[in-house]
Structure 1
Amino acid sequence: MKVLSVNIGKRKIVSWRGKDVETGIFKYPVDKSIFLGKEDVENDAVVDRKYHGGIDKAVYGYSFEHYDYFKKLHPDLDWNYGMFGENITFSRLNEDEITVGSIYKLGECKLEVSKPRQPCYKLGIRFNTPKIVKQFWNSSKSGIYFKVLETGNVKVDDELVLLNKLLDASTIAEVYETKK
């Protein structure tokens, strides 16, 4: 599992369904490393701290392999890394294999797998349609939130290296399935 892109976003106000909404979901690739802090990614906008950021959701990773599934559903979008609001776009990040509580090394950091993402309406803002929220919800392509155990920098081409896998723990996919 290799880092294909590191992504950050700025605080942005958009008009959505007749209301102004503040969001940080518009994330785009950057050409330098990003710093993973204990509660968020440095210089990345986290607007609603009730649902984003914090100890258990400091970093959001998403698999590039999931992009094709959603590109078929939304072919007219201008696709780029960070489309799902992820801080890190990985190759082959597999929710069916990664278990909650497992520890990984990534760049200068040590990360713990904490939970799957559950989408909110702001994903609909990013895709310019509320349909994506239900499509995402009904897929198994949740992505993964990580807790940052050791802070540091992460850059493109860094490898996510397993240090300790909890064998009796649920996979991210199994936890995501219980949401329904």
Structure 2
Amino acid sequence: MKSRIDQIFTGRVKLMLPDGEPSGIFKSAVDGPQHLGTNGLEGDEQADLRYHGGPEKALHQYPAEHYALLAQEWPQCASLLGPGVLGENISTRGMTEHDVCIGDVFGMGEARIQLSQPRSPCWKIDRRLKVDGASRFVEAAGVTGWYYRVLDEGRLCAGDEIVLLERPNPWLTLVHYWDTVMAHRPDPVALRQIAAAAGLATDKAQRWLERAAWLEANAG
């Protein structure tokens, strides 16, 4: 698999109106080489580090082609919907949740990165777009984008190739991941298989193990 970085986005924490909640969802395109470290791109910030940022969510990639679907769903904010609006760091075309798997290792510019988890949308998407239920729609449609951990630091630049280097879990596309975990009553065996997948973020693995145990304990 090969793709390219179309644009790179970073941003500082700003206050969201109307209640002044701090957020790092506001990003702007940046030019030239950008250093990617284990905690993300230089100059990029997150407001609530309990749920955003850190080594397991160092870099967020979002497929630009998803914005057409979102504009169709919410024509009233179509002019706003475009790369960078949902707080992604990397905008691309030709890579979607159908094409990538948990644990995939990519070369991106000088860096080597691993897909650790899909994004779990939160209420800040609703606030950013001024659309109630936007985050629920993004999750239900499986158009969330995904996060990487950084295995080897390096510089990234718009136009750099994204090259698949390793695929330890070819069965676990993000589409399959979402279909499994979002089922009304997921199969505990399938949840345990996902939790054991190489490269999955530790907190997500623990979450699905706990969910599988609860389902087994409350079977029938």
- The corresponding residue for 1:101 is 103
Residues 117-158 of structure 1: per-residue CA shift (max 9 Å, x gap)? 010011112112233112112112121100100111111111
Cα separation, 1, equivalents of 2:42 and 2:169 = 32
- CA distance in 2 between counterparts of 1:60 and 1:131 reads 21
Other-structure match for 1:44: 44
- Count of equivalent residues: 178
Q: Distance in 1 between matches of 2:32 and 2:133?
A: 33
Deviation at 1:167, TM superposition (A): 4.0
Q: Name the structure where strand makes up a greater proportion of residues.
A: 1
Structure of larger gyration radius: 2
Deviation at 1:166, TM superposition (A): 1.5
Aligned equivalents of 1:167 and 1:161: distance in 2? 16
* Relative contact order higher in (CA < 8 Å, ≥ 6 apart): 1
In the TM superposition, what whole-angstrom CA distance separates every residue of 1:14-46 from its partner, at most 9, and x where no partner exists? 224xx2200010112112232211012210111
Equivalent pair of 2:67/2:82 in contact (CA under 8 Å): no
The residue type paired with residue 81 of structure 2 is W
Equivalent residue number for residue 53 of structure 2? 53
Quick check: 48-57 or 74-83, which moved more?
A: 74-83
Deviation at 1:178, TM superposition (A): 3.6
What is the TM-score when the length of structure 1 is the normalising length? 0.92
In structure 2, do the counterparts of structure 1 residues 107 and 168 end up closer, same or farther at CA, with 3 Å as the change threshold? Answer: closer
After TM superposition, the structure 1 = structure 2 runs for residues 10-29 of structure 1, keeping only pairs within 5 Å, are: 10-16=12-18, 19-29=19-29
Root-mean-square deviation (CA, aligned residues, Å) is: 1.5
CA distance in structure 2 between the partners assigned to 1:125 and 1:10 by the alignment: 17
The aligned counterpart of 2:166 is 164
Structure 2 runs not aligned, ≥5 long: 183-220
Aligned with residue 147 of structure 2, among 139, 145, 148: 145
Equivalent position amino acid for 2:177 in 1: V
- Rounded Cα–Cα distance in structure 1 between residues aligned with 2:74 and 2:32: 29
- Distance in 2 between the 1:59 and 1:30 partners? 15
Q: Secondary structure of the equivalent of 1:99?
A: coil
Tell whether the 8 Å contact from 2:70 to 2:81 is kept in structure 1 after alignment.
no
Gapped regions of structure 1 (runs ≥ 5): none
Identity %: 29
CA distance in 2, matches of 1:65, 1:118: 19
Q: Which runs of 4+ in 1 moved over 4 A?
A: none
Are 1:101 and 1:169, in contact at CA under 8 Å, matched by a contact in 2?
Answer: no
The residue identity in structure 2 corresponding to 1:7 is F
Contact 1:98-1:172 at 8 Å conserved across structures: yes
After TM superposition, the score normalised by the length of structure 2 is 0.76
Mapped partners of 2:17, 2:120: distance in 1: 23
Match of 1:90 among 89, 92, 95: 92
The structure with more helix, counted as a fraction of residues:
2
Give secondary structure in 2 for the equivalent of 1:136.
helix
Distance in 2 separating the partners of 1:54 and 1:173: 24
